[in-house]
Structure 1
């Protein structure tokens, strides 16, 4: 896919995905969300990529939400797939690190919250403005924000629409680290993650998201356990062989 709104580079097992609309404050539009989804799917499907880093172009904006594009249809052919994007980042089995290089507002704040870790520039600003513009996020933007910073703080952020500095965000647990060069620091963290067991990390990510993903989370946990069983247990090996050979399984092998 040829990208118009994002730039993707891959180096040393890490994909850096940049929202490249600085002249529009890195706002999301239909095209942007579609391209981000495609890029993250590429990350998920590429065995040589272990971690993704998400950031915005320039030094002022990470992302300040979505553009209000005129809908041509309500059949989702022209509806920005932002929920699909949040869901994919949250549930893909590889870690995603947000490098917040400036303002993270509205949907941009939600975007970094659904990532696994967040590194902020010292000048980064975090804010929710929904009620000020007659809008709201009753899904990822509220549930996950509450889990991240607590119920009272999340309500404060949504109801009062205050601006929060990087230092305040770190204190309340909205970000993990502050760095002068958030992308460089995110890439360092990515290399640390690459030293961890990828299957263990994917299982942990599933466990963290599973409480909100219902049957999808349960299915992934079951699927990952099944993969483990097929690859590493004598039970699976013996049961498969006995089925193929049309004989009773040798149960003495199950606990070897």
Structure 2
């Protein structure tokens, strides 16, 4: 298995007006920890308006959710530090949705929990046929924190969103297309995403920015209120002994970075 790179958890490069961001913890299937979240927020802020953005994962997965071997509050273990991490995950959603340039997620392998939320905050999702997505938070006593409770019902409908979030079941490639969780399937999602980004880089940026903003504002006018609610709900859930037991059972059941 490839080594992790917490000294460089997100790699950023610029190619022909396209900003490419690589989640770079392949040894943990790019699972989310504090260094990765902080680096991704920094990269997205720096890329604001710089051209189309492509986000993908190194190694065998896009992002397998929260790193179960670590904690999102590594310094103190307390609720305030946990809140800071939740808000960084929400900043990823804010920065992707507010970027005037298109953001494309190239998704392969696992996209789990917060990883799936990052993918679905993009303007377009190009997935591999073998992709596997899920939202495991409810079965382990946690709560969603990346705005997915707002965005998912728009993508798949309210009843299907409730099913996916409450059961935490897997969704695979063809079903993901059918539900509207991806724009298309590609055997080479990164290559296809880069091709689309090159097309966007050649188009008038003001027109794309105006269209994207109109769609986001008209579709998600309550985004900030929902994000605040998600943080409070997540802190409430994390504080329960029930969640602690469920989480311990989940981590001891042979899971790998949130994926089972």
TM-score bracket, shorter-length normalisation? 0.7 to 0.9
Q: For the residues of structure 2 that align with 1:134 and 1:153, how far apart are their CA atoms?
A: 20
Moved over 4 A (4+): 73-78, 213-216
* Equivalent position of 1:27 in the other structure: 31
SS at match of 1:79: helix
SS at match of 2:100: coil
SS at match of 2:163: helix
Higher-Rg member (1/2)? 1
Q: For the residues of structure 2 that align with 1:146 and 1:78, how far apart are their CA atoms?
A: 25
> Post-superposition shift, 1:214?
5.8
SS at match of 1:17: strand
Q: Is the contact made by 1:15 and 1:52 (CA closer than 8 Å) also made in structure 2?
A: yes
Q: Is the contact made by 1:15 and 1:43 (CA closer than 8 Å) also made in structure 2?
A: yes
- Structure 2 residues without counterparts, runs of 5 or longer: 1-5, 225-260
Task: Quote the RMSD (CA, aligned, Å).
Answer: 2.2
> Post-superposition shift, 1:86?
1.3
Q: For the residues of structure 1 that align with 2:222 and 2:149, how far apart are their CA atoms?
A: 17
> Post-superposition shift, 1:196?
2.2
* 1:160 aligns with one of 157, 167, 183: 167
Q: For the residues of structure 2 that align with 1:3 and 1:191, how far apart are their CA atoms?
A: 30
- Structure 1 residues without counterparts, runs of 5 or longer: 217-256
Higher relative contact order (CA 8 A, sep 6+): 2
> Post-superposition shift, 1:193?
1.3
Map Cα deviations across residues 145-203 of structure 1 (whole Å, 9 max, x no partner): 11111111111111122111111101111100111110000011111212322111111
2:14 aligned with 1:14, yes or no? Answer: no
What TM-score results when the alignment is normalised by the length of structure 2? 0.75
Q: For the residues of structure 2 that align with 1:139 and 1:82, how far apart are their CA atoms?
A: 6
SS at match of 1:63: coil
